[in-house]
Structure 1
């Protein structure tokens, strides 16, 4: 809401400034077309697939043990039943731990995304700044961001210029 209010105040105050120039970019489009971003995403996707495969293997192992436990629980001794229940509980704990370790809020996926995507984003932001300075833009908004952009004249779309700048830097 604060961002919308800030944008609203900014738009209302534009007539007060004589030559304020506002542009926008679509960072999602840039990320989809920039080779470095695509490569970073491929690496992340490969890791996620590897971890999901491992997680599925662990779940399959748990299911197999559980099915065995269900089939045999009536003929098992109390001690053997308790042992199988402990094994199931331990596998359950390992599965939950693996999920948190890989996919949790502070997990490896978050850290890997930060490691691979942050340099690309930094490069994009620098290119946006360069294009804005070269073209004389006072403000540049991200069309794909949280700020609500109700209308944008395409002549102020800097997406392709930023993408060209990034591709020239390669």
Structure 2
């Protein structure tokens, strides 16, 4: 029994060794610049720092302009000045130049304010990135993870080994959780578990990417179709409004802008046969429009006459009823008086 147990343990050790050898080394890399550019806090702070740097640069350039003015003035007045005055001005100019160079070094030097503030700005995010890298490396069993933007020369890197998006998701999760309710937090955890499952299974992630691409294509087709329908509807509405405007213009004895344009185009044509055909078509259209307008006018008049007759009939019925009622009241009054 003891021998069987030893054989079983030995078999498990051998199996794990073979699995480790056949699995191979798992590599990954991150793009620190890409990660920093997509962290909102960093981009805001970087914009403020760039504004400071522009202000410092403007101060340095302004000082250079003042120094150049002093040099030009000295050059123009050198012949009129004594040696002592010339030496005094040159000393002043040299002092201002050195002072400006010291200020430039203080702001933009290797250990200047700009580099120090950049380091202070980046360090907290770098610490978060390193923590996220360690968590992902342990969870997904990476052997090595490199930084693409460091001094390490990376001649080629397949996109499937880029885990920058996973790092960004890890950084954003903590900030999101602080602003979510319990129900939203539960939904977010389910979403995170799904994303982690995709990270652990590259084949599943590729399949999900294909599905997302198909969905994006389908959504774009639907959006284009909806846009086309809206354009057609707008053209139809514009055409209908133009027809109504033309009818109103004809009814009022004026000419719409559309008719004026067509008349101008007809007058500008150089082909008499074409002009005649076009005039005939326009004349036929005009007659049809006039006929429709006359029909509508007649129908409107008939309806008004009917309404007027009904009103008069209703009024006469009411008057007859009122006369009958009054006659009954008079007769009832007479009978009452007789009694």
Larger radius of gyration: 2
Instruction: Kindly indicate whether residue 90 of structure 2 is the aligned counterpart of residue 63 of structure 1.
Output: no
Q: Secondary structure at the match of 1:165?
A: helix
More helix as a share of residues: 2
Change in 2 beyond 3 A, CA 1:85/1:150: closer
- In the alignment, structure 2 segments of 5+ residues that lack a partner are 1-19, 176-339
Instruction: Kindly indicate whether residue 194 of structure 2 is the aligned counterpart of residue 153 of structure 1.
Output: no
Query: Deviation at 1:46?
Result: 1.6
Alpha-carbon distance in 1 for matches of 2:88, 2:22: 77
- In the alignment, structure 1 segments of 5+ residues that lack a partner are 1-14
Structure 1 match to 2:38: 33
Alpha-carbon distance in 2 for matches of 1:88, 1:108: 26
Structure 1 match to 2:139: 134
Alpha-carbon distance in 2 for matches of 1:120, 1:93: 37
Alpha-carbon distance in 1 for matches of 2:54, 2:39: 22
Structure 1 match to 2:91: 86
Alpha-carbon distance in 1 for matches of 2:98, 2:167: 48
1:163 to 147, 163, 168: 168
Query: Deviation at 1:133?
Result: 2.1
Alpha-carbon distance in 2 for matches of 1:35, 1:57: 33
Structure 2 match to 1:121: 126
Query: Deviation at 1:131?
Result: 2.0
Change in 2 beyond 3 A, CA 1:17/1:66: farther
Query: Deviation at 1:88?
Result: 0.5
Dislocated runs of 4+, deviation >4 Å: none
Alpha-carbon distance in 2 for matches of 1:154, 1:104: 37
Alpha-carbon distance in 2 for matches of 1:17, 1:39: 47
Query: Deviation at 1:98?
Result: 0.7
Alpha-carbon distance in 1 for matches of 2:39, 2:96: 42
Alpha-carbon distance in 1 for matches of 2:172, 2:103: 39
TM-score of the two chains, using structure 1 as the length reference: 0.82
Higher relative contact order (CA 8 A, sep 6+): 1
Query: Deviation at 1:61?
Result: 0.9
Are 1:37 and 1:117, in contact at CA under 8 Å, matched by a contact in 2?
A: yes
Query: Deviation at 1:93?
Result: 1.2
